[in-house]
Structure 1
Amino acid sequence: MDAGPTSAARARFHFAGGRGERGELPPNNWRAMFGGPARTRIREADGHPGQWYLHLFTPHQPDFNWRHPGVADYFDDVLRFWLDRGVDGFRIDVAVGLYKHPDLPDSPDPTADEDARDAINPQAWNQPEVHGVWRRWRAICDTYSARDGRERTLVGEVAVPTPADQAEYLRHDELHQAFYFPLLHTPWDAAAFRARIDAALRDIASTGAPVTWGLNNHDQQRTPTRYSRRALPGEEADPERGAARARAAALLMLALPGSAYLYQGEELGGFIEQQ
């Protein structure tokens, strides 16, 4: 790598020296969502092992350091580039993961994030400073909307523990919408569906933002497969039953107040996947 350890280029990411006698151990115990340590060590320009950089997903996706002012300025330019070309808005991946704890300390759960997505590293996600990013992006979008009266929309992938947590991202000066993921994990049970729908209407719709419903996405098997599995003791997986339940769930979602997002193929009757 040409940019050295104290360079301005590295400051835009999360580089740090390693632990151990020769820096041979990662700077913290964080795990990557796709497996393995969330730190990768580079080789310096002279060929010797150097610093470690942070990546919450793959080593090919180093995380930006949003505490560096140049990072926010860079993304402002990215937004304006596309807004100047007439886009209607942005779908924001991992909207809770921009900022990390300023000290990047060890996670209290050394297995958090890796594969088992229910275990979340609290040092890496949902930091309070991230809301400032969405206020900044909302202000940029609103400036364009004020010019021509055409609203630009920010839709976030906001995976947080509760609907009340998600509502904090949907305040009047932040995101317009955030995908409501609990339905993707709801078993085929009427009471379970009702509880999660009621929670969304109570905690999210009360902000004035629409609940953004979805039953499928790229991280989950589709509803025909999920619903085809046995739901009761002794009940075997049944593809026909899975397809029927998928159609019924889609009808339910489309009848709910708010915005419904159909994952690619659903609008074509994409209820055929069976794995």
Structure 2
Amino acid sequence: MMIKFKLLILVLTMSTVINKMATAENEYTLDTVRETLVRQEDTIVFGLIERSKFPFNSQTYDQNYLQIPGFCGSLVEFVFTNTEIVQAKAGRYKNPEENPFFPENLSLSLVPSYPFTKFLHPGAASININKSLWKMYFHDLLPLFVASGDDGNYAQTAASDLSLLQAISKRVHYGKFVAEVKFRESPQDYEPLIRSKDKEGLMKLLTFKSVEEMVKKRVEKKATLFGQDISLNSSDDSKGKQKFDPSVASKLYEKWVIPLTKEVQVEYLLRRLD
């Protein structure tokens, strides 16, 4: 009787393990990752609109503006660093979808670990291009859509930068999941290129111009819709007026989000067979 009971427990345990593995395998498919990427577009577009409410506010980025003992850097760096420290303690960066901008400053998580799906190859953790995103954001993107000037809302400006940059970072680094899904669907196409370290060949295999054009048009349309002034009065002249240039969203994806996502995918695939 005891032996039968132990066998029953063993069968139930194995069944649970198999079900968890099946769930993990089915959690990420081409359809589910596409749905996630589309939802992330909304967050990024809203982030662009929110940041556009403030002028450039150069003091936010002035290394000499802050006078905080023990800290050297700009206000935006101060906000990013301390926010990430708190979020790390709360367990944010235990999620493989999240990548910090200042990993060297992070503390250990203080909350119980959630059993996130072990879907990615272990080498994925070392792929973090946030330093490049940081430079792109402040040197190239902001001047495209933020008005010059100063309204004194430096903390609010830094908070908007934080939300938008984190959203862009999540979208770009989600390329790891896209690459893993594509690899699992067609390993025979990817393995020869990976073994030969053919970055150019991998980039060609990952590039679908028609899909990229569709994404750019979609984010611009979203920016057009989300960025309109809405009025319940049909005779209101301000109805449909744009408070944000929707072409900025398309340019962001064309010049940076899409190329950098593919860069992450290539870097991930090059580690996939290690």
- TM-score bracket, normalised by the shorter chain, equals under 0.3
Structure number having the greater helix percentage = 2
Higher relative contact order (CA 8 A, sep 6+): 2
Structure number having the greater strand percentage = 1
Larger radius of gyration: 2
